[in-house]
Amino acid sequence: MANKGAHIITLIKKDLLLEIRQQYTFYGVLLYVASTIFVVYLSMGEPEPAVWNALFWVIQLFVCVNAVAKSFLQDNKGRMLYYYSIAGARDFILSKLIFNALLMMLMSLLSLFIFMLLLGNPILYLVQFIGLSFLGGIGLSFIFTFLAAIAAKAQQQAALMAIMGFPIIIPQLLLLGRIAKASFSPILQAGLWQMVLLLVGLDILIVLLAIILFPFLWKD
């Protein structure tokens, strides 16, 4: 078990190191976030809370697609085989899931900051909203990491990711949007914790499925 943990940590370190050396994903996505939000700001100024909320989650979705899509592309086939032989498929997918979740948490925080800077701040409960955007970012990154693995196998990255991912992600986005509404008004919604638990449950389900199903994707 300790050995497994060491494998995963090493793989995450590898991804992190690649990221720091190339600085490609991070700045690429950062620029993407900033310019998208700037376009929104130019076209609508400071929107209503409901619109703000909807825009925030939609932009999170696109940020996630862009940040995560690359995660199975930067390594070529020979290197993948190498990882597979030294670490095993399960460690590999777990390291990708954790790395992308961390990346997405950072991105959520940054885009929240740019949102508040440009589009105004309608949030009443900031800490809760940050927590929710972390939870949402983790959920999105889990789903898209797994779909990126599928799409990488099908060799048609971007288009397939959108076709497969967007219908699957709708229920989660609906849940997130609905929970997030609670941060904009002082009235507490009924069934809020139920929805948060459902979201956490879904995240756990995705991780379990990824661990079970990923080895089948890898067998070539």
Partner 1 sequence: MLKNWWKILCFLLLIYVSVMGFLVKVPVLDGRLQQSVRNLFFHVPMWFGMMILLSVSVFYAIKYLRNPKPVYDHYAAEFARGGIVFGFLGIVTGAIWANYQWGSPWSGDPKQNGAAIALLIYMAYFVLRGSMTDIDKRSRISAVYNVFAFAMLFPTLWILPRLTESLHPGGQGSEGNPALNPNDSTPEMTMLFWPAVIGWTLLAVWITTLRIRLQLLTDKQLEHE
CA distances (Å), 52 to each of 11, 32, 34, 47, in order? 37, 18, 15, 6
x/- site string to partner 1, residues 174 to 213, per CB under 8 A? xx--x------------x--xx--x--xx--xx--x---x
Closer CB to partner 1, 31 or 163, in the complex: 163
Among 146, 180, 182, 183, binds partner 1 (CB under 8 A): 146
Closer CB to partner 1, 31 or 154, in the complex: 154
Closer CB to partner 1, 31 or 174, in the complex: 174
Burial class (CB in 10 A: 0-12, 13-18, 19+), 191: exposed
CA distances (Å), 161 to each of 4, 34, 96, 121, 148, in order? 30, 23, 17, 32, 6
Closer CB to partner 1, 1 or 220, in the complex: 220
Among 170, 185, 193, 200, binds partner 1 (CB under 8 A): 170
- Residues in 115-144 at the binding interface with partner 1, rule: CB under 8 A: 143
d(CA 91, CA 6): 10
List b or e across 144-175, with b for residues whose CB sees 16 or more CB atoms inside 10 angstroms: bbbbbbbbbeeeeeeebbeebbeeebeebbeb
Among 127, 167, 186, 187, binds partner 1 (CB under 8 A): 167
- Residues in 3-22 at the binding interface with partner 1, rule: CB under 8 A: none
- Selected range binding partner 1 among 10-18, 76-84, 89-97, 164-172, rule: CB under 8 A: 164-172
CB of 1 to partner 1, least distance (A): 26
Cβ distance 156 to 77 under 8 Å? no
- CB-based contacts of 149: which residues, under 8 Å, 6+ apart? 72, 93, 96, 214, 217
Tokens of 36: 């998208």
Among 153, 158, 193, 200, binds partner 1 (CB under 8 A): 153
Look-up: residue for tokens 């809020």?
Answer: 192
Question: What's the distance, CA 180 to chain centroid?
Answer: 17
x/- site string to partner 1, residues 23 to 62, per CB under 8 A? ----------------------------------------
Size of site (CB under 8 A) for partner 1: 33
Chain residues that interact with partner 1, rule: CB under 8 A: 143, 146, 150, 153-156, 160, 163-164, 166-168, 170-172, 174-175, 178, 191, 194-195, 198, 201-202, 205-206, 209, 213, 216-217, 219-220
